A and B are shown apart, each in its own frame.
Chain A
Amino acid sequence: MEPRHARYPFLGSARKAVEAADVDLAAVARERRSAVDRGRERILSGLFEGTVGETHRRPRVELLSYPVARVLVSLVDQPALTHRYARAEAAAAHERFQEDLTATQFRSTDGQQLTLATLLSEFDLRGAIEPRETTSLDDAERFSIAVGTYLELAAGQYGDDWRLVNRSLADGRVPIDREELLELLRAAVEERVLDGLPLNVPDPIADSLTEDVEAVSERLDELDLTRDIDTVVPELFPPCMTALLDQVQKGEHLAHHSRFAITSFLTSIGMTTDDIVELYEINPGFGEEMTRYQTDHIRGETSPTDYSPPACATMQSYGDCVNMDDLCEEISHPLSYYEAKLEDADEEEVIDWRERDGDE
């Protein structure tokens, strides 16, 4: 077992190290060894801080805590938790390889060191990425990546800079800088962590982790990630969403982030794909197939992630925050605005859009 394995437990070699150590996960779970506590901490740090918490002083415990965390996440089996956890593992890995890869020259070259080449090979990306202006991967500041691989990894990235249309695509390759490459590797780690979750956990292991599963579930409930706002009253929408919906209905072309914002908002308040298509269909130009696909995607039916709508800060940075009112000053999320409005509204006046007459 190498220190590298504890630092990057998702690597194939780390997995082999766990196998080679012949650790019985059932025994680990049963005996409540430190790995279970550390595994639980990985998840809770992920949930609340977006990272995986303090590394355990014993590499063996640290390494084992990763498969334990995956088992726990699988037993809780809540998509919101699974995705937050995967994001946190990926964020931690990203931070670590940023450190390790820039500090290469100051460290011993005992073959234990993580190199960019190792990392790329790990994700089967060695063939897709080439250094530019130099032949050495480790010295390169600029790279090019095969367009297919770029699209696979950059598709989930937020921001217009990642859009292919804004890239200097030439002869099948997209130029990227080092920082961008590491960001794409972060996305690859996230995908790796998610891969296979939820696991099928054997009963004996599940039984000995009941207490931990309950503890994680309780903390998850605190966050109230799954909101229960299932009334659709467009008059009470926050001004940003009203403006976006208005544009959709007028048939204006919305930027990707704006379409995402309005559709994920509508999904979060309990609208089905059919409802959304109907609400949008006032404008024939919006394209039913497109709306269906995008809505299903955001709902997590055709993609591994179910997305929640962007917070006010994100809406602001994309220029989608418009017509702010007094209530906007008090909230930080468009859903909170809507929730507050619904609470204040007179029961009588709140008529769900889906229950109104079609001719209004």
Chain B
Amino acid sequence: MEERTRAYLRGRFGDHYRRVDLSLPPDAHEREWGYIPWTEGPSETMVRHKSLLGLGDLESFLARERPRHIYFSAGRYADPSASSMGKKDWRGSDVVFDLDADHLPAVDPDEDTYAEMLATCKDALLRLLDFLETDFGFSELTIVFSGGRGYHVHVRDEGIQHLDREGRREIVDYVRGIGLDLDGLVTTEMRGNVTARRLRTDGGWGKRVHEALLAFVSEIESLPEADGKERLQALDGIGEGRAKTVYGAIDANRDAIENGNLEAGGPGIRKLVDALTHKVIEDQNAPIDEPVTTDTNRLIRLPGSLHGGSGLAVRTLERGEISGFNPLVDAVPETFRGHEITVEVTDPERVELDGDTFTLSEGVSTVPEYLGVFLMSRGRAQKGPE
């Protein structure tokens, strides 16, 4: 990035920070703060181990320093500015989830556009929130568009503050469905003097699998027999002969299936549930980035700040706002709207931003400022002559 581009972006980031009101995370004084200044060259060095006291009033700090990126810690400490983690004296940490388009199996980075990646990421966010709200019953959630390739969720419920990494990894494995197998979802009960296997339908992944089973069974029942059997055969591990048995078992044992009873209909139903379990995990898991969640000292981007690699705002989202949220429109900072600037484009690949699609060509162009900032932040353009 050329000096002129850097100076321009830094100046405009400063203008942005003078205009906006930022809200601090709770216990901001007990957190570690860090930032990345605008520097020459591709290497980014973070200035960290700062306390809020060391930075001074955050808003004037941002207006004065105009950093490229700013972060605060998930952890709280007695002495957040101490130079090592040991000396900081850890008091607890929020549980933070990071959904990053780069890590999503459903994203093809070579094929998908930025907008498509973010849409896939939002689907994953909704699945994650379902786990956090329905299964975990968390109530202190802050949902944030990261300004880059995804979303962050900060959980601040008291009950999880003191979990160590081991405990946090259990949460990760839960939302990702790691280590889950049918055996784990089945309880064995005594019925008279025989044991009976039953799906755990009262919560967790067992309930999700059971719901999928009931939906699948209803679908089969609504189909003509031949189509129903064909549908069954489309599942892993179910051949023609087995499809026939399972079909018969579904027909004869609907009530038992409703109750999660896995004995009715012999091994056929269990085979069906096994196949559905794999599909449910695949469809419903939330592929979060594990190291972020298990790290009790992680630094996370500050909501309300600007992402120095896109020029987009790191936006906190209300729960009801998510479905209608379009990051490439709603995270465009107001500061950069309504002006035009000249840039020298080096990478003219098409850009979708603020509801428009821009076809660019290499060389000097006049573009809306938000687009210019986006291109320059991503290293796809330099500031052009005025």
Chain A hits for B138, CB < 8 A: 172
Docked Cα-Cα span, A111 to B166, in Å, equals 39
Cβ–Cβ contact A290 & B290, under 8 A? yes
Stretch at the interface among B36-44, B198-206, B266-274, B356-364: B198-206
Query: Contacts A168-B203, A170-B204, A172-B138 given: A155-B167 contact, CB under 8 Å?
Result: yes
A interface, how many residues as a size bin?
20 to 34
Cβ–Cβ contact B180 & A152, under 8 A? no
Chain B hits for A287, CB < 8 A: 290-291
Q: Which of A232-284 contact B (CB under 8 A)?
A: 253, 255-256
**Among B158, B159, B162, which residue has the most Cβ atoms of chain A within 10 A?**
B159
Cβ–Cβ contact B164 & A165, under 8 A? no
Nearest opposing residue in chain B for A167, CB measure: B204
Docked Cα-Cα span, A66 to B386, in Å, equals 81
- Interface size counted on chain B using CB atoms at 8 A: 36
Chain B: minimal CB distance from A180 (Å): 12
Cβ–Cβ contact B178 & A165, under 8 A? yes
Nearest opposing residue in chain A for B163, CB measure: A151
Chain A hits for B178, CB < 8 A: 165, 253
Cβ–Cβ contact B184 & A170, under 8 A? no
Residue A302 contacts which of B136, B165, B173, B185 (CB distance < 8 angstroms)? B165
Docked Cα-Cα span, A126 to B227, in Å, equals 55
Nearest opposing residue in chain B for A163, CB measure: B179
Chain B hits for A170, CB < 8 A: 134-135, 137, 202-204, 207
Cβ–Cβ contact A168 & B157, under 8 A? no
Chain A hits for B160, CB < 8 A: 147-148, 151
Chain A hits for B134, CB < 8 A: 170-171
Chain A: minimal CB distance from B10 (Å): 32
**Among B178, B203, B294, which residue has the most Cβ atoms of chain A within 10 A?**
B203
Docked Cα-Cα span, A149 to B171, in Å, equals 13
Chain B hits for A164, CB < 8 A: 170-171, 173-174
Chain A hits for B158, CB < 8 A: 148
Residue B203 contacts which of A128, A169, A255 (CB distance < 8 angstroms)? A169
Chain A hits for B184, CB < 8 A: 160-161, 163, 165-166
Cβ–Cβ contact B179 & A255, under 8 A? yes
Cβ–Cβ contact A155 & B170, under 8 A? yes
Docked Cα-Cα span, A280 to B318, in Å, equals 43
Cβ–Cβ contact B203 & A155, under 8 A? no
Chain A: minimal CB distance from B170 (Å): 4
Nearest opposing residue in chain B for A296, CB measure: B165
Chain B positions within 8 Å of A, measured between CB atoms, are: 134-138, 157-160, 162-167, 170-171, 173-174, 177-180, 183-185, 200, 202-207, 290-291, 294
Q: Identify 16 new A-B residue pairs, CB closer than 8 A, beyond the known A171-B134, A290-B290.
A: A146-B159, A147-B159, A148-B159, A154-B170, A156-B166, A163-B170, A164-B173, A165-B204, A166-B179, A166-B180, A168-B202, A169-B174, A169-B203, A256-B179, A289-B291, A290-B291
A-B CB contact pairs (8 Å), 20 listed:
A128-B159, A147-B159, A148-B158, A148-B160, A148-B162, A152-B162, A156-B166, A163-B170, A163-B184, A164-B171, A164-B173, A164-B174, A165-B177, A167-B204, A168-B207, A169-B135, A253-B178, A256-B179, A290-B291, A297-B166
